[in-house]
Chains A and B, each alone.
Chain A
Amino acid sequence: MAASMDWTPVIRTFVTTDQDEAADAILESVKVGTTNLLKLVEDLGAFLTVKDVAQRARATRLLAEAVKGTPHERLSIREAEILVTFFCERLKDHHFVTPHIIKGLLALVQYPALPSTCLSVIFRGIFNEIHVQSLPQMDRRNMLIMVWHALQHRLPDVKDMQSDFVFGFIQAMDGEKDPRNLVIAFKCVVTIATNCNLGVFTEELFEVVACYFPIDFNPPPNDTFGVTKDELVRCLRSCFSASATFGEFALPLLLEKVTSTLSSAKIDAFETLAACAPVYGSAALEEYLGSFWAAIRREQNDSKLSDYIKEIFQDCKPYLQDPSTRLSIASGTLLEVVALSSRAAACSVLELSLNLLLQSFQIHSSNGDRRIILQVLLPLMKIATISELVGDDFAPVRDKKDDLLSLFVSLFADSSPSLRTYGVAGVIGMVSIKKLISEKECYLIADHLSNLVLGDLDESVRLESVRSLAFMSTQMPHIVLEKVLPSLTSRINKTGSIIYVKVILTVPGTLTYRDYTVYACSIWKIGIPSNGFASHINNIYLLETISNISAHYQMVAATIPFMVNHLKHLVTESSLPQTEKFTEAKALCNCLLNTCNANISNDQSLDVLRQCLIPQCLWLAIFGALTPTANILTHKDIVELFATIIRTVVQSLPSASDILELVVSVFLEHKLDSLTALTEDLDGTNFKPLSVDSPWQQTQLIKVLTAIVCSAPENESIPRVEELMPLLNKMSCNCEHHVSSLLAAKCFAGIVNKLPPGDLLESIVSSFDGDFEKQLEAVTSAVLSAQQQRFINLWTWICKAVILRSHKKQIHFLEKVLEWLSHPSLAQYAADAFYVVLNEYPDLMALSQHAKVMFLYRQRVFVLTLPQLKDGYQNASADFKQYYLSALSYLLRFVPKEVLKNELAALLPLLLHSLRCEGENVWLASLTTLYDLTFDAPDAMTPHIDDLIPLLMTLVKHKTNMKVRLLSCECLGALTTLPAVHLVKHQPQVVRGLVLTLDDHKRLVRKAAVTARSEWYLL
């Protein structure tokens, strides 16, 4: 029968190893009753007393869990008594064992039939033997639950223990800091105080909870326990009001807190007083009534505060009235700080000072004085925008609204640009105060601001006005749309016809591009350009302004179609000379990009950009490639900008599946139906961007493809990728147009980096296994064929892709690159490959494009390649040393300097040596690294000062490359941060040697030389 089963072997496994599941069988058997607890104790036998603490703890744990798992009806009173005695005897055991004992006792306390003598033994034991506050949080919690359970279910027995229990509990919870435990402890205190005779311990019990008053607790961010400040405050308050006997101790404490400087403490104290007063009764309160009343009155009118502020204001007044004292701004700052302290203070300060400042502005007429007054006034007004402090309707500013507004508006016509700027800042400051400026006034303000944008001759005034309009468009886009946009767009110089459409002033959720265009045209109500433009007004300025004020999705929905249409118009119909066309087109693309960057963080704007801008950019790029007359769209800068715009939007999208579908179908099918459905007609039969024979205008658009497929969200799969990859591979190896082949290689690698793990990825990566030798077997001459160069590029970029995602083939790819270093025609490519692998490119395989970038990948490359690079360098012939050095320099430049610390002693001599070899590129890399190291690892640099200085002194004379001279000067300057003891002996040499460089024909070099030489003089 199971009852006679011998558990010893199982127990041994559980006790001597970490296999928690070993005990499952025993616990199950105890639960169903086939094994009884005493039998288990017998089986556990020696383990419960074994010398090894860890084993003893595990044995105790098993027993405690068994007790916990035993249904109450199966536990006899005798067993319970034995177990209680057993556990209590062990309370003094090692701190490894105590937690399990507490768990066991907790289970026993919850046993309803437990004799009252046992209960008393347990609590006396715990309170006497254990220092509760030195236990971990979980065990303290178990202990408190034990107390709470006893108070709930065994109150009469607890009462019998009298003051022993109370005192024991006070000691146990004294000093508790964990909010989760405190909630339980406070509940216990309430029950104890209501039910037990506290006797001499009344004050102690009160003190043990009073020290938490007032509660100051903020749950940590991402807290999962759900204890809130409110809950703690409530529990503590019910402790205070639990017993009338607390009155004499609580009232003085509350009185002290109602006069606190912290308003939260004050509020808590008053609320607690309200909760306690009925409990404590009038007799207890009588003594304190007077004092509480005084405190309440003080709260009501705060007369002291206002006296104090008046005093401060009186001291500041003379300075505010007379700006020439030069203390006005300091006084203003003082008042500002005072006002920030509370609503009452803000009220008094603004009431007093606004009036005064308005008056002194009228008295003083010099620009300097007025400027100072405005410098005081504007920050004070800003206080009214802090609605948490002053609320929504702030009287002091509202009362002076008209005066302030007319003052600021009058400044628009001032002759001083800086006063006009203050006027703009003041007006927009008022607009940003909630509920202050009416809609009608906003229209007027927008009108004024657009006049300044168009007509002011000072750049900073225009800039401030544009910034203000951008702010207005975030708050009230309809006003900017109606008032400002038309006056900007109507001035844009174009010869094409203008469509007038009836006004629709809402933007429904999903619209097609055509709807947006209709909507956009409708709100401009484009008029006839007026004459007499200021000289700065040209198309580019207007377009930039339009882009800068597009700060709301309704604005974006109107301005993007306008800019896109203007671009179409520009390339197809405009009669401007080619260079001007190009400049404007480029500026337009930059404006589009600028609008994207400013709006991608807003979901609604992002949606507009995705629906309305991406298909258009794609269309324009393809249109340019297919239409010889639109050839400015094929300029590399424009294509680059299209790609950047698309990437900026796509990488921010939560899902890009529709765009991926669209672009892949357009690039694979030679049909543009899916695109033209969203935009305009275009015959795409000749569009074959992934065909080796296509013209470069088409193949370079792989950049646009890359911008989409390599920037989509991480979980998004690329449609028809198995068709795409072979084409890209072919393009990268065979396309004669160098730029396109490189673009294809980058796109290919970007996809390799993003592909989900699986067969496709493995087959692509391993398809390169034999390829390498095959492609390069013919490389014997010093010059690579174009095809081989393309292959090397592809290899380099895939190498980066697999290293970033830490694919197991990374070592294979990296080893090949290391092999190239000793190959006459490949060595330079290998060194460059290190740069490609380690450098971060903003447009490909960056984290922002959701690329798979494993943590610490640079460190990994460092560890994988450093030994071979060092060996290789040592053994290489003189011709090859430079390639090893440049690879090393790139490593040093990109790898965090902390990682290098240990290796630096060995590497620095190599760097120094590189400065002796030929090769400007190697010098530049080494000099940059040395410059950084001087700051990052001064200790390692110091021993090399004597060798380095003569080398640098030679390089500052290097005629043919100014970068070398510049960097050497900067290095010399940086060296002065090292300990002067090591430098002083070189001072004469450096100071003399740099004289010639002071007369360098390049200004930047002269400047660096001056800086370095001055520092050396000052040693």
Chain B
Amino acid sequence: MGGSDLENINPTVYEKAKEREALPTDDDNDFEEEFDTREIFDLIRDINDPEHPLSLEELHVVGEDKVYVDDKLNRVEIQFTPTIPHCSMATLIGLAIRVRLLRALPPRFKVDVSITPGTHASEHAINKQLADKERIAAALENSHLLDVVNQCLITRKF
């Protein structure tokens, strides 16, 4: 991919989900709340797409239906769908999701990030990369790559 050319010039933009509904028990210190799919989805839906000024949610790269969580067994699984089957950004998107969850989830969770089956040409290679802890750690040592990932994770709330 050369220069500033975008791979997918005209992506389809979808609506964002509404904010999570507030419940009366939200403010009750004695009421315990487990991690659920919506909470995990809320953690990753605002991640910026590396190419477009849009969030992964707006591009349907991630969706609540592709999030699996089991609080008791400490498991989180995410599948994401690249916008086009040859997207060279897929690895970067996967990495961004991983890093985001690394920072936002308690360490007790085992997190799996993979590509939705059948949506990318080199699905297996990328899945393998994303599952390899050492490669992830090494990637984050690379300050240039870390910068790019951080760009995806900036969501100024203030």
Contacts and interface: CB of A to CB of B under 8 A. Distances in A.
A1010 B43 contact: yes
A961 B33 contact: no
A778 interface: no
A1003 interface: yes
Interface string A966-978: 0000000110110
A228 B109 CA distance: 75
A326 B106 contact: no
B157 A1018 contact: no
A1011 B27 contact: no
Given A962-B27, A977-B158, A1014-B153, A999 B106 contact: yes
Interface string B91-113: 00000000010011111100000
Nearest to B158: A977
Interface in A927-961: 935, 960-961
B157 to A, nearest CB: 5
B143 interface: no
B32 interface: yes
A1010 B47 CA distance: 14
Contact of B104 (A960, A976, A977, A1014): A1014
Interface string A986-1015: 000000000110110111101100110111
A533 interface: no
Given A326-B10, A962-B27, A1014-B103, A1002 B33 contact: yes
Nearest to B29: A962
Contacts of B157: 973, 1011, 1015
A1017 interface: yes
A330 to B, nearest CB: 12
A258 to B, nearest CB: 46
Q: Is the interface of A mostly helix, strand, loop or mixed?
A: helix
A1003 B105 contact: no
Nearest to B31: A1002
Contact of A974 (B106, B150, B158): B158
Contact of A1018 (B12, B26, B32, B154): B154
Contacts of B39: 1003, 1006-1007
Given A973-B157, A974-B158, A998 B26 contact: no
Contact of B158 (A973, A996, A999, A1004): A973
A179 to B, nearest CB: 48
A983 B28 CA distance: 33
A1002 to B, nearest CB: 6
Nearest to A368: B12
Contacts of B43: 1010
A1006 B33 CA distance: 10
A991 B158 CA distance: 19
Contact of B103 (A326, A974, A1013): A1013
Contacts of A1013: 103-104
A998 B105 contact: yes
Contacts of A973: 157-158
Interface in A754-791: none
A1001 B106 contact: no
The interface centre, meaning the residue of A996, A1003, A1010 with most chain B CB atoms within 10 A of its CB, is A1003
Contact of B33 (A935, A998, A1001): A1001
Interface residues of A, number: 27
A998 B105 CA distance: 6
Contacts of A1018: 150, 153-154
Nearest to B104: A1010
A1002 B29 CA distance: 7
Nearest to B22: A1004
A1003 B108 contact: no
Interface residues of B, number: 24
B106 A998 contact: yes
Given A977-B158, A1001-B33, A1011-B157, A1017 B103 contact: yes
A1003 B108 CA distance: 17
Nearest to A1018: B150
A974 B156 CA distance: 11
Nearest to B108: A999
Interface string B62-96: 00000000000000000000000000000000000
The interface centre, meaning the residue of B27, B39, B103, B150 with most chain A CB atoms within 10 A of its CB, is B103
A1003 B33 contact: yes
Contacts of B26: 1002-1004
Contacts of B103: 1010, 1013-1014, 1017
Contacts of B105: 998
Nearest to A1004: B26
Nearest to A959: B29
A961 B29 contact: yes
B70 to A, nearest CB: 15
Interface string A536-548: 0000000000000
Nearest to A1017: B103
B128 to A, nearest CB: 26
Contacts of A1006: 39
Nearest to B20: A1003
Given A977-B158, A1011-B157, A995 B29 contact: no
Nearest to A998: B106
Contacts of A998: 104-106
Nearest to B105: A998
A973 B33 CA distance: 23
Nearest to A1006: B39
A1007 B29 CA distance: 15
A1013 to B, nearest CB: 6
A835 B77 CA distance: 49
Interface string A670-690: 000000000000000000000
A765 to B, nearest CB: 41
A1006 B40 CA distance: 11
B76 to A, nearest CB: 13
Contacts of B12: 326
Contacts of B154: 1018
A1007 B105 CA distance: 10
A995 B33 contact: no
Contacts of A963: 27
A1015 B31 CA distance: 28
Nearest to B107: A995
B15 to A, nearest CB: 10
A731 to B, nearest CB: 34
A1017 B26 CA distance: 27
Contacts of B155: 1014
Contacts of B150: 1017-1018
Contacts of A1001: 32-33
Contacts of A1014: 100, 103-104, 153, 155
Nearest to A1016: B103
A823 to B, nearest CB: 32
Contacts of A935: 158
A998 B104 CA distance: 7
A995 B32 CA distance: 18
A989 to B, nearest CB: 16
Nearest to B42: A1007
Given A960-B29, A1001-B32, 20 more contacts: A326-B12, A963-B27, A973-B157, A976-B158, A995-B107, A996-B106, A998-B104, A999-B108, A1002-B26, A1002-B32, A1003-B39, A1004-B27, A1006-B39, A1010-B103, A1010-B104, A1011-B157, A1014-B100, A1015-B157, A1015-B158, A1017-B103
A-B complex: 9 closest residue pairs judged by Cβ atoms: A999-B106, A962-B29, A1010-B104, A1003-B33, A1001-B32, A998-B106, A977-B158, A1011-B157, A1017-B103
25 contacts: A326-B10, A935-B158, A960-B29, A961-B29, A973-B158, A974-B158, A976-B158, A995-B106, A995-B107, A996-B106, A998-B104, A998-B105, A998-B106, A999-B108, A1002-B29, A1002-B32, A1002-B33, A1003-B26, A1004-B27, A1006-B39, A1007-B39, A1007-B42, A1010-B103, A1011-B157, A1018-B154
Interface of A: 326, 935, 960-963, 973-974, 976-977, 995-996, 998-999, 1001-1004, 1006-1007, 1010-1011, 1013-1015, 1017-1018
